[in-house]
Structure 1
């Protein structure tokens, strides 16, 4: 496969064994809460980088109102504003739509890397509806970060109960990337109420995604 820096954002001086957090999503648009949880994960999990996997199309979301991939990627670049937060189009490059397939592809392509998939608590609450969610959880360690209104739902979810025997304490956060999957860490974080849905509902019809992203950074 031909190397494409937009799809595979390897840092300068790459030597093959890095600790990478993966934050998947539509990023329609990207916003400050994405950046906040990425910074928390970088610090608490001792990661070398966080890749934002800008999805070509989330199978659980409607195509109605979905901005073009190029616009969503630019939105992610505008918001990330950090040398170790790297938006990319990996899923488009390799043709995956489901997180389980993406996780397995990454493990195969970069066998020496240590990956952790970053999930909002809302995603843990609905993980049972993801295609091959058990295979996904077995592919790499999962780090779940709090989202407003979802802490209780996440804790009571089928996935949380299934993964309870593999749960780590928060004090073991830095060890998570080196753990064999399945492994689950619930990480308390600042509860930012922003969501892409609220942003799309609130922004004026003619406002661009990139412009909203810059205003989000200014407010932070």
Structure 2
């Protein structure tokens, strides 16, 4: 089985993430997309990060109706901060029957060379890239495949700020995620 690994803080998961996951599965040879909830991205601040179990639960709620999607907490049990190469290696050893592809945004190519063992990632894994608003670095490499998809300019930061300001995120997140945020009083 071919599995796309979509890493993220998902703080919170939003409609943009779901659209990207669906497009990647639909327009590529992927059988499934696994949403890997990262406890701590080494390149991001953790000051506004919800507890990983809340973020995982929101992912589970958002993808519950799509049997091609799976929520994964694999990085919860690994050393922190989480490095993509370590997770890819672990999953490849645990699930040798699967062929893993990495799903990233075009903006991540701007600093991909700074990722731990980026050359090893390119050597052993194909990367599916979706465009992001702004500058998307074009990195020529046989392992990198750009996927035609719409530009989605929704950010978790915007969603968190909107919630803090008492605004509506009704069409920005899945309804069950919105209910979870409201019921647990998250981001207020």
Q: Report TM bin, short chain.
A: 0.7 to 0.9
Which segments of structure 1 move beyond 4 Å, counting only runs of 4 or more?
A: 209-212, 215-218
Q: Is 2:143 the partner of 1:192?
A: no
In structure 2, what is the equivalent of residue 45 of structure 1? 28
Match of 1:72 among 50, 55, 67: 55
Match of 2:102 among 117, 122, 128: 117
SS in structure 2 of the partner of residue 147 of structure 1? coil
Match of 1:105 among 82, 85, 90: 90
- What is the deviation of 1:136? 2.1
Quick check: 94-103 or 113-122, which moved more?
A: 94-103
* Structure 2, unpaired ranges of 5+: 179-188
* Structure 1, unpaired ranges of 5+: 1-17, 167-182
TM-score, normalised on structure 2? 0.83
Q: Is 2:122 the partner of 1:137?
A: yes
TM-score, normalised on structure 1? 0.72
Cα RMSD, aligned residues only: 2.7
How do 1:104-183 and structure 2 match up within 5 A?
Answer: 104-151=89-136, 154-155=137-138, 160=139, 164-166=140-142, 183=143
How many residues are paired up? Answer: 176
SS in structure 1 of the partner of residue 174 of structure 2? helix
- What is the deviation of 1:118? 0.4
Asked whether the equivalents of residues 20 and 51 of structure 1 are also in contact (C-alpha less than 8 Å), the reply is yes
| Cα distance between partner residues in 1 of 2:16 and 2:172 | 13
| Cα distance between partner residues in 2 of 1:30 and 1:45 | 22
